[in-house]
Structure 1
Amino acid sequence: MRGLENKVAIVSGGATLIGAAVARAFVAAGARVLVADIDDAGGQALAAELGPALRFQHTDLAVEAEVEACVAAAQAAFGRIDFVVNVAAVYADQGPATTRDEWTRSFAVNVIGPARLVQLACPHMAPGSAVVNFGSTSAGVAQAGRWAYPATKAAVLQLTRSQALDLAAAGIRANAVSPGWTWSGVLDQISGGDRARVEAVARPFHMLGRIGDPTEVAEAVLFLCSDHARFITGANLAVDGGYAALGPEQGLTPILELLS
């Protein structure tokens, strides 16, 4: 994609399955990446895999000093910042039983930390730069037993719109991607690594009949950062196999059943 070569991206949550796919895609496109994550082993393994084009910086988005150090490390290592991609998130959600500490941690990592990362990076970003935040299909629908995570993702989508407006004068675009069910560390963990089982459960929720792959989300992120998206800002790109457009009737035909 045009406009990515020799650019620099900060990818928060870059040691996760989806974040690592984003980091690899940037490097493959000729960009350099600073991965910000709390997973030291995962981040260091990714740095060893991708070589000097990628640096790892331990960063907890809930800790202001670590967010500041992340931006400083990217500037020191590469001399510029062109893209901020906020993948990092926590799933501290027990629905109606979610504790105050879980609410606080959820907003600190999922909303406040990403917002601060953008705020601190912006003075180093030139016109033509871009922000990509991660929303979720969870932001727009009711889901049983989930209160905190969807609320934070709805906040991220509104934050993205506000960032797009205020950063436009500086020539910086801000957009979001909202994945549907995508093979990730969370699904890997709760399914015991059984992707086929996850596919079977999720199939009815997606028009395309399957879950997403991390590389498919990564390609959408790179598009929004590229010159191909230079007139796109304030948008939320659904990378969800049709999840958000599929209503409660899913692929059923209740009207036909009434007529039969």
Structure 2
Amino acid sequence: MDLELRGKKALVTGGTRGVGRGIVLALAHAGVDVVTCYQRESDYVTSLERELKEIGGDHHVLRADLSQPQEIAALLERVKEIHKKIDLLVNNAGAISHIPYADLPLEEWTRILATNVTGAHLVIQHALPLLGEGSSVISIGSKAVEAGIPLRSHYTATKAALVGLSRSLAKEFGPQGIRFNVVALGVIETENFHALPEDQRTLMTQRYSAKTALGRLGQPDEVAGAVLWLASDLSRYVTGNTIGVDGGIS
């Protein structure tokens, strides 16, 4: 099915690895011109640049630390120079750590919130002049908001905040035709998952597959499918929602 996305402009934060990379590549294959960003130089950056060049289109992979407000402002200025507008904004960049709540340092709480919540807020705020009728803003959330996960209270709090932010912005900017939604993920197989020792990987696969209705873990391109739908006119009456891409996990 042609979703009629060719020629549209997108910004996907944190798009060189994992779920973000899957989204960037799916959009590029659909004909969307994509700007994405990364925090640190790595082989993932150069390999993504190579893949995007092979696909074709006007794509840009830029460095920006989204925990730093001035770098967010500079990133959006660069997007404005490149594309003049944004049809799709995907807040994917995020940070996570696993720490017992009683031992959680304030510095770590602040770091996770700075990237996952304040970073997303500032990206949206700076992007507002580039958004217009028909634009779609998607924040990548987590099923952890409903389930709760030990050692990740700070991370889970940030993903819950994205739900509230998106619902409020959906109401505020609905009259302008700008939509805001959250895609809440279950357990997705990414590079970090495959980098685990084999015994841990096997244990996680068995444990979390058993919790899902589909009996398996998710793939980045399956998350990308939901993003493509939310980017298209097929979802033009969908806003203020949290859409689970989780295999029916419980």
| TM-based fold match above 0.5 | yes
CA–CA distance in structure 2, aligned partners of residues 165 and 202 of structure 1: 35
- 2:219 is the alignment partner of 1:218: no
- Helix, strand or coil at the partner of 1:40: coil
Aligned to 2:95: 90
CA–CA distance in structure 2, aligned partners of residues 119 and 192 of structure 1: 42
Structure 1 stretches of 5 or more lacking a match?
A: 247-260
Task: Indicate if the aligned counterparts of 1:95 and 1:148 stay in contact, CA closer than 8 A.
Answer: no
CA–CA distance in structure 1, aligned partners of residues 153 and 139 of structure 2: 20
Aligned to 1:205: 211
Residues 127, 3 of structure 1: CA spacing in aligned structure 2 closer, same or farther, 3 A cutoff? farther
Aligned to 2:72: 67
The percent of aligned pairs where both chains have the same amino acid is: 32
Q: What is the deviation of 1:197?
A: 4.4
Task: Indicate if the aligned counterparts of 2:166 and 2:240 stay in contact, CA closer than 8 A.
Answer: yes
Q: What is the deviation of 1:78?
A: 2.3
- 2:204 is the alignment partner of 1:184: no
Task: Indicate if the aligned counterparts of 1:44 and 1:56 stay in contact, CA closer than 8 A.
Answer: no
Equivalent position amino acid for 1:45 in 2? S
Equivalent position amino acid for 1:239 in 2? V
Write the deviation string for residues 186-209 of structure 1: whole angstroms up to 9, x where unpaired: 323344697554321212211111
Aligned to 2:235: 229
Residues 148, 93 of structure 1: CA spacing in aligned structure 2 closer, same or farther, 3 A cutoff? farther
Task: Indicate if the aligned counterparts of 1:157 and 1:176 stay in contact, CA closer than 8 A.
Answer: yes
Rg larger for: 1
Aligned to 1:146: 152
Task: Indicate if the aligned counterparts of 1:82 and 1:130 stay in contact, CA closer than 8 A.
Answer: yes
Equivalent position amino acid for 1:217 in 2? V
Number of residue pairs matched? 244
Write the deviation string for residues 45-73 of structure 1: whole angstroms up to 9, x where unpaired: 21222125321111111111111111111
- 2:47 is the alignment partner of 1:45: yes
Bigger Cα displacement from structure 2, 91-100 vs 233-242: 91-100
TM-score by length of 2: 0.92
CA–CA distance in structure 2, aligned partners of residues 176 and 224 of structure 1: 10
Task: Indicate if the aligned counterparts of 1:128 and 1:171 stay in contact, CA closer than 8 A.
Answer: yes
- 2:89 is the alignment partner of 1:79: no
Task: Indicate if the aligned counterparts of 2:97 and 2:152 stay in contact, CA closer than 8 A.
Answer: no
- Helix, strand or coil at the partner of 1:85: strand
CA–CA distance in structure 1, aligned partners of residues 155 and 197 of structure 2: 19
Structure 2 stretches of 5 or more lacking a match?
A: none
Task: Indicate if the aligned counterparts of 1:191 and 1:197 stay in contact, CA closer than 8 A.
Answer: no
CA–CA distance in structure 2, aligned partners of residues 156 and 193 of structure 1: 34
In the TM superposition, structure 1's runs of 4+ consecutive aligned residues that sit over 6 Å from their partners are none
Equivalent position amino acid for 2:49 in 1? A
Task: Indicate if the aligned counterparts of 1:23 and 1:33 stay in contact, CA closer than 8 A.
Answer: yes
CA–CA distance in structure 2, aligned partners of residues 191 and 204 of structure 1: 20
Residues 192, 113 of structure 1: CA spacing in aligned structure 2 closer, same or farther, 3 A cutoff? farther
- Helix, strand or coil at the partner of 1:53: coil
Q: How does 1:154-193 map to 2 (within 5 A)?
A: 154-191=160-197
Aligned CA-pair RMSD: 1.7
Q: What is the deviation of 1:124?
A: 1.0
Residues 147, 54 of structure 1: CA spacing in aligned structure 2 closer, same or farther, 3 A cutoff? same
Task: Indicate if the aligned counterparts of 2:16 and 2:48 stay in contact, CA closer than 8 A.
Answer: yes
CA–CA distance in structure 1, aligned partners of residues 181 and 248 of structure 2: 19
Task: Indicate if the aligned counterparts of 2:9 and 2:83 stay in contact, CA closer than 8 A.
Answer: yes
CA–CA distance in structure 2, aligned partners of residues 204 and 77 of structure 1: 45
Aligned to 1:253: none
Equivalent position amino acid for 1:74 in 2? V
TM-score by length of 1: 0.88
Equivalent position amino acid for 1:92 in 2? S
